[in-house]
Chain A
Amino acid sequence: MKQPCALVTGAAGGLGFAIARRLSEAGYALLLVDMNPAVSDVAARLATAGARFDHCVADLSTEDGITSVSEAVLATCLPLHLLVNNAGITRDARLQKMTSENFDLVIEVNLLAAMRLTLGLASQFADGSSVVSMSSRAALGNFGQANYVTSKSGLIGFTRALAQQWSPRVRANVVSPGLVDTPMTQAMPDDVLAKLVQKVPAGRIGTPEDVANAVTFLASEQASYITGQVLTVCGGRSLAP
């Protein structure tokens, strides 16, 4: 049987790397996409006996970028069994200080680029394939992130509509990570991070592997009756006071 193929955007980042590695372990061939040329190094690091990795450097906020990815899919990843919309950026500022340029940019990269890519690849999905988009627990609200919260919340609506319009051929779901051990959280002062972890009922910070496991589950046959849903991977933080 032919190896299923998954496309992961934002693959040069810590979370993208963990997702790609976990999907490889689950048997996927991978097409790794990022605007950062370092994605080629990531592909090389992940390459192991029997696994197949290709990569594509592309800016998903441009039509040229979408065309490049589409051509890469045609060349290396057809039919597509899984798209993971993981690429994202932050440009944090208090709402009254946030520029409209930074508001637009985050909406473009986090929301519109994911929509553009998903819709651009519509004809290339295999029957029974799925789309998993990365939102964030911050979609429920967060300080200084009006642009980010709006974009990640918008992805949830897009996914709900996509799930209904593309069923039964393609499933669509969202993973919403909470506090996760990434370069962004590692850059926080220790006391600030410790206070945030204290608010997590699970009593620890999440790992990129926690998130990668959720993505892999939603993509799997075990989740074949799940579509249009949000899986929040936050150690219970979205419920706690």
Chain B
Amino acid sequence: MRTVIRQRPCDSLDDISHQLREAFLALRQAIEAENPVVIVVSAPDLLGQDSLEGAALATGLVGLMRAATFEGSGKGWRVNVLAIDPEAEPPAEMLDIATQNGSLNGQILNLGSGHFGKIVP
């Protein structure tokens, strides 16, 4: 079993709060169930290329992933971020890699088409 947490379109500060809380609770539940986690975010939002709210949410979710990895990598928790174009579906094989590769943890796997030549999020 794996847990996939997915960023949804976001257009208000209340929605940022709501989606971050949902992700936090889902992540904690997954950890308790010993499930690996993939957080799927919008790749353009990581670079702030869309809305202010979406960008804050996407990078906030990256922070949540990093905090969980920092705290739990020694306990076997596995959490990664998959960044994709907003209209795309996360490819099943990438979800497999993100959850089944033993050494892959705390990473951003970026499948977005617009990140070449940009900063590393």
Contacts and interface: CB of A to CB of B under 8 A. Distances in A.
Interface stretch (A16-24, A37-45, A157-165, A208-216): A157-165
B44 to A, nearest CB: 10
A84 interface: no
Main secondary structure of the interface of A (DSSP, over half): helix
Nearest to A165: B52
B80 interface: no
A35 interface: no
Nearest to B49: A164
B76 to A, nearest CB: 13
A103 interface: yes
Contacts of A115: 13, 16, 52, 56
Contact of A153 (B13, B48, B62): B62
A96 B24 CA distance: 10
Contacts of B48: 157-164, 228
Contacts of B72: 95
Given A95-B67, A100-B24, A139-B63, A160 B106 contact: no
Given A100-B21, A161-B52, A150 B67 contact: yes
Given A95-B28, A140-B66, A162-B52, A146 B71 contact: yes
Contact of B56 (A100, A140, A158): A158
A95 B31 contact: yes
Given A153-B66, A159-B48, A144 B71 contact: yes
A153 B59 contact: yes
Contacts of A159: 48
A151 B60 contact: yes
Interface residues of B, number: 38
A108 B17 contact: yes
B56 to A, nearest CB: 4
A225 interface: no
For the side of the interface on A, what is the size category? 35 or more
Nearest to B69: A141
Contacts of A157: 45-46, 48, 55-60
A173 to B, nearest CB: 12
Interface string B63-82: 11011111110000000000
A141 B50 contact: no
6 contacts: A95-B68, A112-B16, A150-B67, A154-B60, A157-B57, A161-B56
Interface of B: 13, 16-17, 20-21, 24-25, 27-28, 31-32, 45-52, 54-64, 66-72, 106
Given A104-B17, A146-B71, A164-B49, 19 more contacts: A95-B68, A103-B24, A111-B56, A111-B60, A112-B16, A141-B66, A141-B106, A142-B70, A150-B60, A153-B59, A153-B60, A154-B59, A154-B60, A156-B59, A157-B46, A158-B48, A158-B56, A160-B47, A161-B48
